[in-house]
């Protein structure tokens, strides 16, 4: 049985945010690199660098510091489509998270992109996760 690398990325970032860790180490694959690039572009992650250790590549990301870390405001990542239940959506029915404040990451025929990009291009795909 294979590993769910997308769920591993989401869980690592969520756990680091809850434990107020500054850095997260993620196994580097094409999918995880694309997801981390989206998180970097949207401002959920401050910095990313690729690290090589024992002939394996890892992504080391630095979390965005929050002003009030004691408060309820945290980055929430929720996995939607999983190996046992795939969730697909056309571009007209892509969900809006918090009225457009959050983002949806989709795997489309043109690569991994956010909900805004998919709506602009008019393509749907597999709904990977929600972030708000």
The CATH code of the domain that includes 67 is 3.30.1490.10
Distance CA 91, CA 117 (A): 10
Distance CA 126, CA 12 (A): 22
Q: Can you give the pTM of this predicted structure? A: 0.88
Domains of the chain: total: 1
Predicted pLDDT at 69: 54
Indicate if the pLDDT at residue 61 is higher than 70: yes
Indicate if the pLDDT at residue 1 is higher than 60: no
Tokens of 28: 């580097």
């Amino acid at each position: 049985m294979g590993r769910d690398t997308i769920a591993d990325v989401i869980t690592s970032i969520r756990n680091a945010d809850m434990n107020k860790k500054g850095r997260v180490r993620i196994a580097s694959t094409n999918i995880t690199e694309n997801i981390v690039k989206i998180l970097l572009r949207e401002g959920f992650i401050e910095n990313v660098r690729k690290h090589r250790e024992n002939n394996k590549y890892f992504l080391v990301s630095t979390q965005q510091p929050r002003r009030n870390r004691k408060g309820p405001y945290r980055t929430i990542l929720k996995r939607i489509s999983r190996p046992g239940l795939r969730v697909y959506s056309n571009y007209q029915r892509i969900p809006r998270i918090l009225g457009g404040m959050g983002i949806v990451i989709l795997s489309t025929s043109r690569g991994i992109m956010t909900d805004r990009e998919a709506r602009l291009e008019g393509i749907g795909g597999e709904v990977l996760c929600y972030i708000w």
